Structure 1
Amino acid sequence: MKSLELRREELLSRKAQLTTRMAQISDELETHEAKDWAEMATEREGDEVLQDLGDAARNELRMIEAALARMDDGEYGSCVTCGEPIAEERLDLLPATPFCRDHAAKH
């Protein structure tokens, strides 16, 4: 069983990775050097992919922030729906999850 502090460190490390990734995505979206229509179309497709990656990173960051808040409140590791403990194996795979297996399927 991982300690709460180890889980906190893992979440903070992932948060730092996501923050760096989001900065890289933002930088990439701001730099365009396309000269013709074909290049601009290719860049636009790439931008859509980057925006989707940025959205996914923002969503994961929100989940991490919520998990850290639950840690501070002493509620981490318990399902926010039923209050039952979340399985250790589930927390190993999804450390920011707010739901037990049964309630995750409903959300």
Structure 2
Amino acid sequence: MSEQLKQQFTERIVELQQRIDSIHQDFADGRHADWSEQAGERENDEVLNALESEAKVEIQQLSNAITLIDNGNYGYCQKCGEQINPKRLAVQPAAIKCINCAD
């Protein structure tokens, strides 16, 4: 099961990296000369920056989860040491704390 999780996490990391690459390509594309279009592009840039930041955070979380799998510590709370509820991991696979310690 742990190898399957690592594969899922790795695939998700690849997807997220592709998203980041696409965002960088959008930034690299030229700007319009029209001022009103530039204003719209700047608003779009804020959204793209937020998406990029979220993708980077998720990549880091998934990378950490892969490390925990490799170390045999995946699924255990890093604060109290108790096992993280499998339902929590199903919703948030990169969770590093149980629900009690996450608050």
Tell me the TM-score range normalised by the shorter chain. over 0.9
Per-residue CA deviations over 1:28-82 (Å, capped at 9, x if unaligned) read 1111331111111110000010000000000000101111111111111101111
Query: Can you give the 5+ residue segments of structure 2 that lack an aligned partner in the other structure?
Result: none
Distance 1:102 1:68 in 2: 23
RMSD value over aligned CA atoms? 1.0
TM-score normalised by the chain length of structure 1: 0.91
1:78 match: secondary structure = coil
TM-score normalised by the chain length of structure 2: 0.94
Distance 1:84 1:12 in 2: 26
Partner amino acid, structure 2, of 1:44? R
Structure 1 residues 21-100: aligned runs within 5 Å: 21-100=19-98
Partner amino acid, structure 1, of 2:42? R
Query: Can you give the 5+ residue segments of structure 1 that lack an aligned partner in the other structure?
Result: none
Distance 1:42 1:32 in 2: 14
Identity percentage of aligned residues: 34
